[in-house]
A and B are shown apart, each in its own frame.
Chain A
């Protein structure tokens, strides 16, 4: 995500950050300007990792994905990701077979547990990746979730 931050700095994030620091805009507003369009348009895990600033990622047993093996309905699939890796900075949820791979990307500031739980849509049975950036390096865990009814057609 370093590359992304650099990108933001180049394109005006710096100005926004200054404005926030000066109390001109609230922190939430400054942050809300950032949305990594390229990353959310990726069609594969490798592409997503790249769009999030990595060159590749290493499997890690220090990342735990809590999700059902089978989801009755793909419209709502509960997924929790927890990282035991020191200095975890970000967690992302990737669904390999969805029309767009990246589902959600969370930045974890110091003081916040490297844990998030949310619910995602899955179009079909797929591998779900939890991508973690820790100490500037990219790691992942993977779990297959079977879906009995796809959740993208409605």
Chain B
């Protein structure tokens, strides 16, 4: 099973000094990643997302052009790097994805269930066969919108808001969740992301309490995953980590998912946003 590989990978991962051969491998992998940067299929998702933002959909036949992502109705530029944040109309701290679901309900007239259906685009790759949202060749309106909206914050500074009491509460809850260990393997986010130098196979894992690591990690999601041929969002990233830890499924756009994202965004504060990125 995958979790065993994850475990074995993490346990075998503390390698303070790499042999010359491993260094060469690392260099070649770096070169491979560099070659992929040239052209990112995320652009295809961004183009669809921009179109979807303007498309009239749902029972009310309305577009999302008046959706307030935190900077005022219809303001997309720079919205992503200021999220998650508190929204007075819902009384909740929301990340981009939960906020888009809100707008699909309030502006377009979808039911909350419809707005959250198929939040992730799917390929049917073996890795995600337990993903209830995915299927072969499916596309996700949510994922496409996320790709475009995130791209409209490219090059900007990550600056989530943590001044409202509910934002502070979300941050604290996220921090608690980050350190919380449970499940059959007594795993937690901190198991993989709490120390320097951990990796799973060839992936170096960011230490989220280290600002530089957190900035790089948060600043490169959403990302186009070449291994899956899909664009993946921050909600998906949380969902997948939680799944790999064999926790109960993390509900899409739930308060717990938003708390985790709030914690990570705050850790990454001050970093430059450079997503959608392209990833292994």
Contacts and interface: CB of A to CB of B under 8 A. Distances in A.
B174 to A, nearest CB: 30
B29 A70 contact: yes
B29 A73 contact: no
Interface residues of B, number: 21
A75 B227 CA distance: 6
A76 interface: yes
Given A68-B28, A69-B28, A70-B32, A149 B227 contact: yes
A111 interface: no
A108 B31 CA distance: 28
Given A72-B202, A72-B280, A148-B201, A154 B124 contact: yes
A76 B226 contact: yes
Contacts of A78: 32, 35-36, 38
Nearest to A78: B35
A154 B28 CA distance: 23
Contacts of B228: 75, 154
A115 to B, nearest CB: 14
A72 B125 contact: no
Contacts of B125: 154
Contact of B32 (A71, A75, A154): A71
Contact of B36 (A76, A149, A151, A153): A76
Interface of A: 67-73, 75-76, 78, 148-149, 151, 153-154
Interface of B: 25, 28-29, 31-33, 35-36, 38, 123-127, 201-202, 226-229, 280
20 contacts: A68-B28, A68-B35, A69-B28, A70-B25, A71-B32, A72-B29, A73-B227, A75-B227, A75-B228, A75-B229, A76-B226, A76-B229, A78-B38, A148-B201, A149-B201, A151-B227, A153-B126, A154-B125, A154-B127, A154-B228
